[in-house]
Structures are given as structure tokens and as C-alpha cells.
Amino acid sequence: MTEQPVHRLLGMTDGEYESVVGILDRPPMPAELAMYSVMWSEHCSYKSSRKHLGRFPTEAPWVVVGPGENAGVVDLGDGWLAALRIESHNHPSFVEPYQGAATGVGGILRDVFTMGARPIALWDQIRFGPLDNPKNRYLLNGVVGGIAGYGNAVGVPTVGGEIEFDAGYTGNPLVNVMCLGILKREQLVLGTAGTPGTMAVLLGKATGRDGIGGASVLASASFDDESGAKRPSVQVGDPFEEKKLIEACLELYEKGLVVGVQDLGAAGLSCATSEPAGRAGVGMEVDLDRVHTRESGMTAPELLMSESQERMMAFVAPDKVDEVLAIADKWEIDSAVVGEVKAGGTLRISHRGEVVAELPAATLADNAPLYDRPAQRPDWLDEVQARPGPDISSHDPADLLRDLLDDPAIGSSAWIHEQYDHMLFLNTVVGPGSDGSLLRIKGTEKGLAVSTDGNGRLCYLEPRIGGARLVYEAALNVAVTGARPIAVVDNLNFGNPEKPEVMWQFKESVEGISEACEALDIPVVGGNVSFYNETDGVDINPTPVVGLLGLADPMPEVPPRISRATDGMELWLVGPEASANLAGTAVQRLLGDEPGGIPTAPDPAPARNVIALAADLAHTAPVLHDISDGGMAVAAAEVSIASGIGVSVDVPIAEIFSEDPHRFLIAFESGSINLPPEARKVGVFGGNQIVINGSPLDLESAASSYGEALPRRMR
């Protein structure tokens, strides 16, 4: 093998290297090169995406902290704030699914409690290849095990999520995790180093060689046969340490002992020193010998690149340092004073008595390359979009429904969510298995609703429509839970950005999400980008995932649930009439058709009305259910199954499996609720069958299909 320059081994291009030389006005020392290489990796710098992320609408009167800090923060009124963030851990989860997913949970928690918030809930959005492939079963098992193992042990409930299967995820499973925290306004802490004289105190796990070249480099390169060689860089999560860290930090915040806090994620110490200094416009002196380590003989580059988990950097006024260390001791957390903030903007790092890095702190973040990669609509898209939609007229709707209920992405997710403690903290009013989660804020009338939504197939067909539809879908999910949408976080999972088609898909998705957020007046308060989800040259479907937070104030006294339908209740449908367009639907997938056509575009005006109406009806309706995967048939069946009572539905054929947006079902006792004139009655509950246009499906067997869809494939 020809010898490569070190910077290329670290994943930097020649151009990026030259840039560093330009900044320093000399060649970089090894530790400096290591720092630039991790900070300028795709995962840390967003160099291929930043240009387009500026498109997102990020402002609203209730946004307290927008994108750029560790988590977005919004105002809930009455002195309460919510912090939220979503992150991916895709590549590590392919390499080691349990630890990859576990450390993903750990990372997102830190992003939230670094803002001063107590994390109160998690959601997971996971995607795998088809389950008839044992490798995908192995990955699903490992990932769910890791999320459960970490989330349960750290003591934060995982209250919802979503799962999708597609062949493209076989080599590239997607593991996204969203976290929500709440705090009182006076507890808000930012990632700032403060003023000269402030001390940098490293808290948490001892630093080892974990993940060196891990998340930063792994997430910046696609998989190929040489992936095995990257294996040693696996980070192991310690939820117990994280729990202690959460409690210790919350105690520090409560006592007003920190000026700023930054969590150590990808790019570890390189980031936790430079970013807070950069934000504050100051410099810092750091002594790596003070860092508490797990392994001996670590070099300066290793110390600076390490992604050892469960570490935080606290910036503390000198007269408060002793108290901080005492609190760390009480919680049995290791700590070390590793640096001091200085005037000027230079980050000076020494190790074993020598200066190993001396650079302008802000340049690690601010001078990261900004690429405007070429974007071009794929030339295969016209043909894909021209494919005729499925013809369902010759199929028995009950047969199609039964098969849809057996789809592991549609069927019950109990096999997964019963492995997650979703009840801890006594906040979970509406938990897993519903359109949106509903959490109460004790001591107030407020409720927080969250929905997370992605749809790779839809975005493959038309990324702008797909991206927009995710926002509308999530907003309606949150509305039927009783809340008004107030903030979005996005996780953008895409293939190789060096391909113009992928870059086009990315731009279009961002545009679609932005348009929808603008139409609904919802700010984007943060996000994450995961590129290079590609194996052997094949990219995943463009898979943006939207996490949407809603506020219910007051929360419905008796929230609607899909299990509250009773004998004799009427089933009504609210929203625009369905088109006959089945592009991108579950039934298209079921019939074995290649994805094709152009999905129905969203329509802002009816959307706004429907969302407002749903949020309102949530205070009085026993049952509300958003129509999405599998259309109205699946939605009605889910209510029927959850309530243990049959339902009979009569609708035009186009309505049965349509997944057109802005539509929901409502069930209530006749005459008990007033609906707008456009709403239409579609059915009635009773008996022990699910009947679609006269075609029956036995309720018990439907429930069985639905319940077994996932578990039977995992045995």
C-alpha cells in the first residue's frame, strides 16, 4: 500500500489540509491535525449540509435557543422551558448494534441535560432491512436491546418511536433518537466558556481510546468490505455513570455553580474546549496531563480525539471549583480541572510539558469547510414517477387489510416498546402505540405531545413532497393528541453527498420541510445530518425524520385513545376527500409494486384547519386517530382492535387505503360531538368483525395478525 499523508488517513482532503496550514501559517502539529480532522469531519462540521440547513425557518417568539447550541429550547409559558434534540448513530449501530444504539441514547441525553434540563423522555426511530434476512433480525435485536439497556438503566422513559423496513437499510440501519427535557427558565445553561479566569472542569468517565476515529470518521465514510478494519473503535456506554452525571449536573445547576456546560460527544475534548471558547470569544489553556484516563500512555492526539462516553465539561468560576468537585465526589464521579479560560482567542494545549497545540479556538468550528456540492435531479426519477399506481379494484379489501396488519412496520410494536420502561416519572399520559405521545408537566395543566415521523419511500419518490408531508403528518399526530405544534427537530439521513442525486434529494427534502414549517408557523430548533449511508455504492432512500413537539395548555382532561371505542359509536372521517393516488403507500408496497408515481402533495390551507380542529376535538372526543400507513382501513382496524369491538365501514374505494395527508378519524356517541359539514360518517362500531365495504375480516384474527406481525418474524 502506498504511503498516504497522515491527513488523508484522518479523513481530510488535501484542500482541507491546506486550509489548516493557511490558518496556522505553518504545518499543523500532530495534535492540531487530529483536532481539525475530527472537528471538520462531516458528522461534526456538517460541511456538506450547512449551506442548505440555513433554509430552515428557525425563529418564533417562543424560541429561546435556536440551532447552534447543544439542544433547541422553547418557551412553554409560566416559567417553563423545553429542550429538545434528535441525533443519529447509524454507522456505529451497524458495527455493533447494542453499543451503537446505547451510546446514541447516551449522546442525545447529554445534549439535553447540558442545557440545564432534566431529560424526561426519549423516542427512537429505527430502520432496518427486511426481517427474512437474519442479519437484519440480529441488528434489530441488538439496537432495541441497546436502547432498552441504556434507557432503562439511565432512568429516562422511552415513550414512543417508529420503525420502517426497506431493503436499502440492510447495509445501513438507521438509528435516530430524540430526547426531550424540561426546565425552569432560571436553570438554562449554555455552552459557553465564560470570561477569562473561568476554570474548565472535566466530569465523568475516565478517558480511554474509545471511538478514536469513531463517530467523526465513521460517519464520514461509507461502508465497504474494509469496514471490519474500523471495528476496534467501538464506544461502550455506561448508563449508570450517565445517571450519576445527570444528577450531579442538575445539582450543579440548581446551586448556580456553573457558567457554562458542554457535553463531550463526537470530537470529544477537541470540541468541548474549542466550541465553548469560540462561542465566548475567548481562549483557553488546557493541560492534557490533568485529564483522568483509563489507559496509560495515551498520546495528545488520542486524548483529543477520544470519544469516551459519559463526559461533560463544566466551566466554573474559580471560587466555585471546590464545591463543584465536592458534588462530583458525592455522586462518585471522577473530575479534573483541566484548563483555564484566557483572554484572546488562542486555544493552547500542553501535554507532558510541551505545547502540542496552539491555534485560534474559533477556527475549529467557524472555519470548517463549507461545501456547495453539486446537486442534480436523478435521471431515473422521471421513469419512477411515471409508473402507474397499483390497481386495487380486483382485490378484496378485507384481504388487503389483513395483509397490511401483518406488515411488521404497521403491526403492533409491543414487542419493541414493552422492552422500554415508558412509565418512569409518572408523566406518561399517552404512551407507545399511539399517534403521538402525551406527557404531563406535574404541577401544571400543561401537556407536551411529541410525534416522530419518517418515510423513506415517500421521499424517494418526491423528496420535497415527502419532506413536507412528514411535517404535516407529525403536526396532525400531535394535534389529535391535544396539542398545538410549537417546534421541530430534524434528523436528515441520506446517502453519499458526493453524488449529485443525493445532494439534490437532500436540498429538496430540506425545502419541503421548510415550506411545511413556514406554512404551519413551526420553527426548526435543531437537527442532525447523517450522510454516507451507502453500502457498495448503493444509497439508502432519502430518509429525513421529523421530531415535532406540541404544547397542550390545558391538556385534555380525558385524552382520546384508540382503545375507547364502544358498541354503537359512530366513526367519522375529517379532512379532504382522498384522491385515487396510491403512490408511496403501504398498499403499493404490499402488492409488490416497485415504488412509483408522485405522492399526493400537501395543501397548507386545509391542513391548518384540520390541525386546529383536531387539537380542539381532543378535549371531547373519545377516539381520534390520524390516517397514515395503510390508510383509513388500517386506522379503523387499529381502533377496533384496541377497543375490542368490531367496526363496519362504507367508503368510496379510493378512500380505503389512501394515505393522502390531513385526514383523521373520530369516533363518538351519536350526536355527542359537532363536526364541520365537510366531515363525513364512514362507519359504526359493533359486532366482532371488521367490515370494509361489505367485505369482512374476523376481529380476533385481525388482532392476532396485528399482534404477531413483528414478533413472529423475530423468533
Partner 1 sequence: MKVRVEVTRRPEIADPQGTTIKRALHDLGHTGVDEVRVNSVFHLEVEGADPDDVRSNVEEMCRQLLANPVLEDFEIELLP
Partner 2 sequence: MTTAVVVFPGTNCEHDVVTAITQLGGSARLVWHRETDLDGYDSVVLPGGFAHGDALRTGAIARFSPIMEPVARFAEEGKPVIGICNGFQVLCEAGLLPGALIANRDLSFICRFIDVEVTDTATVLTNKAEPGQRLRIPLNSYEGNWVSPDGEGRVVAKYVDDPNGSTDRAAAVANEAGNVVGIMPHPERATDALLGSTDGDVFLRSFLSSLVPV
Contact residues for partner 1 (CB under 8 A)?
95-96, 99, 205, 208-210, 231-232, 234-238, 240-241, 294-295, 308-309, 332
Shortest Cβ 331–partner 1 spacing (Å): 12
Distance CA 655, CA 664 (A): 12
Nearer to partner 1, 90 or 588 (CB): 90
Q: Which does 375 bind (CB under 5 to 8 A by kind): partner 1, partner 2, none?
A: none
> What is the torsion angle, in degrees rounded to the nearest 10, for the CA atoms of residue 463, residue 465, residue 467 and residue 470?
-140
Nearer to partner 2, 231 or 715 (CB): 715
Query: Residue 493 — φ and ψ, nearest 5°?
Result: -105, 115
Shortest Cβ 505–partner 2 spacing (Å): 37
Shortest Cβ 298–partner 1 spacing (Å): 11
Q: Which does 236 bind (CB under 5 to 8 A by kind): partner 2, partner 1, none?
A: partner 1
Tell me the three cell numbers of residue 27. Answer: 504545518
Shortest Cβ 251–partner 2 spacing (Å): 12
Shortest Cβ 182–partner 2 spacing (Å): 14
Nearer to partner 1, 213 or 556 (CB): 213
CB 598 within 8 A of CB 469: no
> Looking at this protein, which amino acid is placed at residue 177?
V
Establish whether 43 is a catalytic residue.
yes
Q: How far is CA 290 from CA 35, 157, 340, 357, 612, in A?
A: 18, 36, 12, 16, 56
Shortest Cβ 204–partner 1 spacing (Å): 12
Nearest residue to 273 (alpha-carbon basis) of 184, 365, 335? 365
Distance CA 35, CA 358 (A): 11
Nearer to partner 2, 153 or 337 (CB): 153
Interacting residues of 54 by C-beta distance below 8 A, sequence separation 6+: none
CB 558 within 8 A of CB 644: no
Shortest Cβ 234–partner 1 spacing (Å): 5
Tell me the three cell numbers of residue 169. Answer: 437499510
Nearer to partner 2, 392 or 416 (CB): 416
Catalytic residue, from 7, 89, 351, 422: name it: 89
Nearer to partner 1, 224 or 383 (CB): 224
Give the DSSP H or E segment for 200.
strand 199-204
Strand pairing report for 437-440 and 447-454: antiparallel
Q: Which does 192 bind (CB under 5 to 8 A by kind): partner 1, partner 2, none?
A: none
Q: Which residues of the chain form contacts with partner 2 (CB under 8 A)?
A: 148, 152-153, 155, 238-241, 243-244, 331-332, 414, 417-426, 428-429, 440, 442
Strand pairing report for 428-430 and 437-440: antiparallel
CB 543 within 8 A of CB 467: no
Give the DSSP H or E segment for 161.
strand 158-165
CB 542 within 8 A of CB 127: no
Distance CA 652, CA 656 (A): 7
Q: Which does 23 bind (CB under 5 to 8 A by kind): partner 2, partner 1, none?
A: none
Q: Which does 85 bind (CB under 5 to 8 A by kind): partner 1, partner 2, none?
A: none
Q: Which does 165 bind (CB under 5 to 8 A by kind): partner 1, partner 2, none?
A: none
Site of grid cell 408523566: 427
3-state helix, strand, coil in the chain (%, to 5): 35, 25, 40
Q: Which does 234 bind (CB under 5 to 8 A by kind): partner 1, partner 2, none?
A: partner 1
Nearer to partner 2, 242 or 490 (CB): 242
Name the residues annotated as catalytic. 43, 89
